[in-house]
Structure 1
Amino acid sequence: MGLKTPGPIVWVVGKVFFFTQIFKTGWIIFLFLIPKKGLKNKVFLNGKKKKLSKNKSKT
């Protein structure tokens, strides 16, 4: 019993640690990707607005 009990405990702790690491890295990637997408969209929208205002001023 003494030799068998550490196995599952280590396995569970390892699994929990593994999942927390995945979650942490996933969250970091999520935080990095979302602002970049938001910035791209903002720049794209601003570019469109500028083009529209230029067209209006020409007419």
Structure 2
Amino acid sequence: MITSPVVLKQPKEYTLENWVQNPPEKKEWVDGELLDKNAMTLKHKSDSRKSLLLLEKLQRF
């Protein structure tokens, strides 16, 4: 039987604050984790717009 070692890369630790200041390309912050960003779907675009509008309303208070 032939086996090979498995080498796992340790991902760079990111906090939300670090990500906001300098987001890595093609990554998005989801539930406290960095995930590969896929092409934006229409639903994702719509949800993003709704989120931004809600944030704008909250900032006015």
Give me the TM-score of the superposition, normalised by structure 1: 0.36
Determine which structure has the larger strand proportion and give its number.
Answer: 2
Give me the TM-score of the superposition, normalised by structure 2: 0.34
Q: Which has the larger radius of gyration?
A: 1
Determine which structure has the larger helix proportion and give its number.
Answer: 1
